[in-house]
Amino acid sequence: MSDLGHVLVLAGGVSFEREVSLASGRRVAEALRNLGVDVELVDVDAHLLPRLVSEPPSAVFVAVHGIEGEDGALRDALDLSGVPYVGATGAAARLAFDKATAKAIVARAGISTPASVALQHAAFRDLGGPVLLDRVVGRLGLPLVVKPVRGGSALGVSVVRDASELPQAMVGCYSYDTVALLEQCVAGTELAVSVVDTGDGPVALPAVEIEPVSGAFDYAARYTAGMTEYHAPARLDASVATKVAEVAVTAHRVLGLRDLSRTDLIVTADGEIEYLETNVSPGMTATSLLPLAAAAADIDLGALCRDLLQHAATRGMSAPGAPA
């Protein structure tokens, strides 16, 4: 049996990504249980905080996706409860979760990212949506990717190749968030690069190359077996593989993240690397990218999650106010 003590895996909640989160949580809990860890899967609800206070676990693994798991509020609540957890702090999670903010931060670090414009729903409505869209197309050109500034699993994301498609894309996007990010669509190889840190500093796992059968890495392509072909490690020249790893680690550092993250990138035909976004609560399902990367590195998923929990528990013991 593990000497980690009793740990919780938090999943579920009420965000649009609830079902994916529950699948992630179940897989993490099972992988830990297989190593003898005393683990319990907990659906996030109003009973969570009273339970954490009355029965504090050794550490918590956050497998909650979407706003509930990545906007920082849950992490702040865990900090207030004195419960150590795997992953970014609330403040860092908020920065990374907002794609426009994250792009600005990594761009200042010298990382290339596609040009984009963020439009709040109120401004789009009150300032004249059609005129704004004309200006966006004039500045960024076509095709464009329209996506919620805050959100994941490709929900509300559209690729727009003709200006006539933009209004409908905006409606779909605003159904998931009040701010839409309109971004130049960059052609190339889509990659996901996971970064983990179990106490010795952040290290990039092998990049995973994403090749959707339909050509679009949408919700169905992400979570339906057989709809996407993954190459782990990605089919990259050694020099490019080194560069994408450096970009992912740099993004992890400048966004102030810890423990684990996943950065999505595009590598163009001429080898240029374009940053898209960073996820602070990567999926852990059977088709998710971090587990694929861990397998490519010969790292057992359960052992990785256990080590991350142990690192969090140790960090918690050294935090101000921790038991002597």
Q: Where are the domains of the chain?
A: 7-93+304-317, 98-112+186-298, 116-184
Instruction: Yes or no: say if 217 and 145 are a contact pair by the CB < 8 Å rule.
Output: no
Q: Is 209's pLDDT higher than 90?
A: yes
Clarify whether 153 is annotated catalytic. Answer: yes
Percent over 90 (pLDDT), the chain:
81
Q: Identify each DSSP E strand in 121-220 by its residue range.
A: 144-148, 158-160, 179-184, 189-196, 203-204, 208-212
Catalytic residue among 98, 190, 277, 307: 277
Catalytic residue among 18, 222, 258, 262: 262
Question: What pTM was estimated for this model as a whole?
Answer: 0.92
For residue 213, the SS3 value is coil
Is 7-93+304-317 CATH 3.40.50.20?
A: yes
Catalytic residue among 21, 58, 261, 279: 279
Q: Is 226's pLDDT higher than 90?
A: no
Clarify whether 279 is annotated catalytic. Answer: yes
For residue 323, name the pLDDT band (cuts at 50, 70, 90).
very low
Q: Is 56's pLDDT higher than 60?
A: yes
Clarify whether 34 is annotated catalytic. Answer: no
**What is residue 212's predicted lDDT score, i.e. its pLDDT?**
78
Which CATH fold would you assign to the domain 98-112+186-298?
Answer: D-amino Acid Aminotransferase; Chain A, domain 1 (3.30.470)
- Mean pLDDT in residue range 247-264: 98
CA 226 to chain CA mean position, Å = 22
CATH of 116-184, one of 1.20.1250.20, 3.30.450.20, 2.170.190.11, 3.30.1490.20: 3.30.1490.20
Side chain identity at 47, as an amino acid letter? H
Catalytic residue among 183, 264, 274, 307: 264
pLDDT-wise least confident of 81-95, 101-115, 147-161, 243-257: 147-161
- Mean pLDDT in residue range 176-201: 96
CA 2 to chain CA mean position, Å = 28
Percent over 70 (pLDDT), the chain:
93
Name which of 44, 84, 46, 48 is nearest 67 in CA terms: 44
Q: Pick the more confident residue, 151 or 321.
A: 151
For residue 194, name the pLDDT band (cuts at 50, 70, 90).
very high
Clarify whether 277 is annotated catalytic. Answer: yes
Mind listing the pLDDT tens digit for each residue in 88-106? 999 999 999 999 999 999 9
Per-residue HEC secondary structure of 125-150 comes to: HHCCHHHHHHHHHHHHCCCEEEEECC
> φ, ψ for residue 265 (rounded to 5)?
-135, 160
Clarify whether 262 is annotated catalytic. Answer: yes
Distance from C-alpha of 158 to C-alpha of 206, rounded to nearest angstrom? 28
Catalytic residue among 15, 21, 116, 153: 153
